[in-house]
A and B are shown apart, each in its own frame.
Chain A
C-alpha cells in the first residue's frame, strides 16, 4: 500500500530530477558560449531553478507538517532542501561565468587556457557524478566528488598565483573569474555529495 507521505516524496524526486537536468544543461551551454545570448538563456534557467527551489521548500514544509517523516524519509526530505539550493547555485554560477565573459568582451575560444578548460571539464564531471549519486544514493560516487573538489580547489589556487604574475588583460581577468566560479560550482557539487552521504549513512562526515 502506498503511504500518503510517498506521494509527497515522489513529487520531491521529480522536482529534483528536473532541477538536475537544468543544472547540467546550464553547464553544457557554456561549452557553446555565444556572446549575450548564452548569458540571457542562463539567466532564465537560473531564475527557473530559483523558483523550483522555493517550491521544493514549500513541499518539504508540507511533508514535515502533515506527515512528520522519520528515519530515511526524514533524511531525504531534509537533504532535498539542501540539494535544491545547491542545484540552483550551480545554475547561478554558470550564468555568472557567461556574464564574466560578456563583461570582459571575450569568447571562450580566444581566451580559455588549458588548465581552465581542464577544470571546467572536471567540474562538469563532478556535476554528472553528483546527479548520479543522488539518483542512485551511491556513497562511492559521493566520495569521488569530494576528492575531485580538492583538485578543483588546487587548480584555482595555482591559477590565482599564476595570474598574479601576469600583467593582466581581458583574458586573464575572465579566466580568473571562471576559475573562481568553477571552484564555487565544485563546492556545491561537494555539498550535494555530503547530502548523499547523510541520506545513506545518517551523519555529516567531518572534513
Chain B
C-alpha cells in the first residue's frame, strides 16, 4: 500500500444525486473517506466500490456516496482521499450532545446558520471544556488497545480514558499528573513495538463499521426495568439484548420510544433518530432535559446523547448515523456501562441502502431492497450484547416502519430473524386506543425469567389467549351460547388486558411501573387467574348471572384503573392484591 500520508487525489467523472464517480491514478482504499471540493466547500464522501477505468489502463474509477447535497458539483472537481474509514470521535463530552448523523454538533452549527448547508462542519466534541484527568498508569507500564490509562468524571459517569482500540502493545513513555485538560491536549506518549511514538489525548477516532470487540461476551439474561408493564411482564429485554419494534404509523411507536427513553434503567441512553420527523427528536432534547433520570435524579439529558439524522437530511448520512451511534454504545459498554441504543427507524436506514443500491444499478431483491439486506440487518443487531469482561452491555432496540403496516415486508422479516425480542404494535389495538399497542399475543423474548417467573408468565398469556378465543366465539355465536364458566374466564382476561397490559404513558403514576410494584400486580393477577368465584345469588338464570358478572368485573376494572393512576405509598400499593382477594370472595373491597 502507498504511504497514506501522501496526498492522494482524483477527479469527478460522474455525478448523480448523492452518488459520484472519480478517476484516480494513485491507490484508493475500499471504505475510506474522501473530501470533494465543490465551489470552495469540502463535502464528505465514502468509497463504495473500486473499478478499472475502461478508458485509461493506468487509472481506476472509484464510486463514492456523498453525505451532503452536491448542487454545484462539476466534472473535474477534485477529490482528496483521507486514508481513514468513516469514524467517530470518542471521549468525554459525548453525553448531553446533539449531533447530526455524521457527529456534527447541531447547537454549534446553529451559531453559524439556522439552516444546515453543505460543507458545514464543526468538531464533534467541545475542544475547550476542561476535564479532571486522573492517570491510572505510570511510565514504563505496558498497555495495548482498549486499556485504561486514566479517567475523568463526565457528570456522574466515570469516563475511562482508553488506548485507541487499533493500538498493539506499547510502553508508556510519559503520562501527565492529575490535572485539568481538554480533549486535544496530550495526556500520554506511548511507544509501540516498532519504536514509534504515539501521542494520546482524552479523545480518539474509531472506525464505525468494524465493531469494538467484546472481552467476554455473554448471552443477555438480566431483564431491564423499562417501566412498561406489557414489556416487563411478557416480553422483557435483557441488558445486551436486541428488540425489533414494528408498527404501522399511528400505532404508538414514538410514544413507546419516548417512554423507554425516560424510564428504562440504564447508565447511558443513545438515540439514533434515523430518517424520522425532526419534531420528535426536538421534543427529546428540548423537553427531556427537564425530566429526571430514574436512577440519578438528575436531568435525563445527562445520560443521553442524540444523533439526529432526520428525514429531510441527506440520505447517505442516514446509514452512517446508526453505525456511529452503535460505536459510541460499544465504547461505553467497553467501559463497563449499561447502554441502551434506540434506533428510530431501522426501516429508514434500510431505505437509505435501497436508494443507494438503486442508484448503483444493483440487481434488486424483494421490494427493491438490496439482496443482502437481511445480512446487513443481522450484522447491525449482532453488535449489541453483554460483556462479562467489562460488566457493560449494549442493548439495541430498533423500531421498524413496515410499508402498509404489513409485517411480511423484507425489513420486518429480516429484523424478526435478527433480534432476540419482537414487540409488534397492532393497528387493531391502536384503533381501540389500547396503548401501548404491543399485542400481548404477538411478541417474542429471549429472556427466560424476567421480573416474574416463566410459569407465571405462561399462565398470564394462557388467560389472555383464552379470553381472545372466547371473545371470538361470543361475536360468532352470541353471548347466549357461551357457558358461564367461559364467560368468567373471558372477563378475567379482559381485566388483565385492561388493567395491566394497557398503560397510560401520559399519567405521572401509571407511566412507569417498577419491579416491586410489578410483583404486587403479578400477585393480584395470579390470584385472579387461579380463583374460582361464586357469583350465584339466589335464583338467577344464566343471562342474569352473566349480566351480574359483567357488572362485578366492570367495578373491579374501574377500581384497578383508579389504583393504577393513584396508588403511590407502600400501603396504597399493597391494597391491590387485598382488593382482588376480596373481589374473589365477593366481599366489599373499597379500600
Tell me if chain B binds chain A. no
